[in-house]
Amino acid sequence: MKILYVTTISNTINAFLIPHIELLLDQGHHVDIACNLKSEISPHLIDRGCKVFDLEFQRTPLAKQNHRAYKKMVKLLKNGDYDLVHTHTPVASVFTRLACRNFKNIKVFYTAHGFHFFKGASYKNWILYYPIERWLARYTDVLITINKEDYERAIKSFKAERVEYVPGVGLNIQRFSETLVDKKTKRNQISIPEDAFVILSVGELNQNKNHETIIKAISKLNNPNIYYVICGQGPLNKYLSNMISELNIENQVKLLGKRNDIAEICKMSDVFVFPSFREGLSVALMEAMASGLPIICSDIRGNRDLIENKKGGYLVNPNDFNEFAKYIEIILLSKESAAMAKHNIEIIKSFSNSNVYKRMQEIYSIV
């Protein structure tokens, strides 16, 4: 079978989808890739025969480059002789499914990594995204959702040929559970005292990830032994740095930028906080669970699939820094962390690579 994998930008392929493509290659299929080449696709995939097509998809839906990418996609489909197109990420998936409408011989799979409309989403998101996704579902042979809220909505409201639930993109649990680290040494590397209480967040520095809520919580707690580590980069770096300075907590909050040692940083931390406003099913949150950390996260879709309130951690209103501060202090002072860690390690097994790949094999087998 000849398959075309599509995403808006190449970063999505490199971060999440290489094992999925390798699964198809191992089964003897040919796979090509189409995306905006923001970064080089893994040379390993090129060595295995994957062709890469640079289509200038943009995350902004109305960007004129998307129309050019659409025309290139139509040409690619005419000449590519593909049996299946598997598209990911919202913008690329809109234009790809539009392009596929007139190719009746091509099966179309779409993995929704979190609809932009959900319980608690803005009215604007519902008006803009819901009608488009509902309409395009009729041109989708298999709609794959990665959290239960999206699955239930797709089953109820969309007319895709089939709707399937897959528990995320798959997590290499052993990479996090089996990582060993000397806490003293690791903390010393980033200027954190050995006996500090360390809070960790991982995610891009943008409005959605909502790091400022935890920064406010740290300030409210007024405990110099609490340190907050943020791994990630993004457009709000300067804004967050200024906020940290204005609150006089520069010694306690560390903006570490992009890191390649997340597993080690998880193991040197005491609790993982995740105050996002919107998630599909967060890989960073799953990594923290596999590392054996208790969790304090926003009470939103996706997070509720992973964290059972008061068992694996606490689910909190993402706007309420007082509540985040309250539960940080509860975990700091209580002896519940070990039980929460054990609970999360057990729960995360359902989201492992092996489970996800098994589900994907079942879904691909229907073509």
Q: What are phi and psi of 318, to 5 degrees?
A: -65, -20
Give the relative orientation of helices 353-364 and 18-26 as an angle to the nearest 10 degrees.
Answer: 50
Predicted confidence (pLDDT) at residue 367 exceeds the cutoff of 80:
no
Q: What is the mean pLDDT of residues 117-141?
A: 95
pLDDT at position 366 is: 81
pLDDT in tens, 33-92: 999 998 899 999 999 999 999 999 998 888 999 999 999 999 999 999 999 999 999 999
Say if residue 365 is exposed, middle or buried (CB neighbours under 10 Å; 0-12, 13-18, 19+).
exposed
Predicted confidence (pLDDT) at residue 99 exceeds the cutoff of 90:
yes
Entry pTM: 0.93
Q: In the chain, what percentage of residues exceed pLDDT 90?
A: 96
| CA distances (Å), origin 108, targets 31, 136, 141, 143, 271 | 14, 11, 5, 9, 41
Q: What is the DSSP string of 145-203?
A: ESSHHHHHHHHHH---SEEEE--SS-B-HHHHHT----HHHHHHHTT--TT-EEEEEES
Q: Do residues 205 and 235 make contact, with C-beta atoms less than 8 angstroms apart?
A: yes
**Domain(s) of CATH 3.40.50.2000: residues in the chain:** 2-170+352-364, 173-351
Q: Do residues 106 and 77 make contact, with C-beta atoms less than 8 angstroms apart?
A: yes
CB proximity list for 86: less than 8 A, separation 6 or greater: 3, 4, 5, 6, 109, 110, 111
Burial state string for 159-186 with b = 16 or more CB within 10 A and e = fewer than 16: ebeebbebbbbbbebeebbebebeeeeb
31: β partners: 3
Q: Do residues 11 and 97 make contact, with C-beta atoms less than 8 angstroms apart?
A: no
Is CATH 3.40.309.10 the classification given to domain 2-170+352-364?
no
pLDDT at position 62 is: 85
Q: What are phi and psi of 3, to 5 degrees?
A: -125, 140
| CA distances (Å), origin 246, targets 151, 208, 216, 250, 366 | 43, 22, 11, 9, 57
What average pLDDT is seen over the chain?
A: 96
Q: What are phi and psi of 30, to 5 degrees?
A: -100, 135
Question: Which of these CATH numbers, 3.40.50.2000, 1.10.760.10, 3.40.50.720, 3.40.50.280, describes 173-351?
Answer: 3.40.50.2000
Radius of gyration of the chain (CA): 21
pLDDT in tens, 227-251: 999 999 999 999 999 999 999 999 9
pLDDT at position 203 is: 97
pLDDT at position 259 is: 96
Q: Do residues 326 and 316 make contact, with C-beta atoms less than 8 angstroms apart?
A: no
Predicted confidence (pLDDT) at residue 192 exceeds the cutoff of 80:
yes
Q: What is the DSSP string of 46-113?
A: HHTT--EEE----SSTT-HHHHHHHHHHHHHHHHH--SEEEEESHHHHHHHHHHHTT-TTSEEEEEES
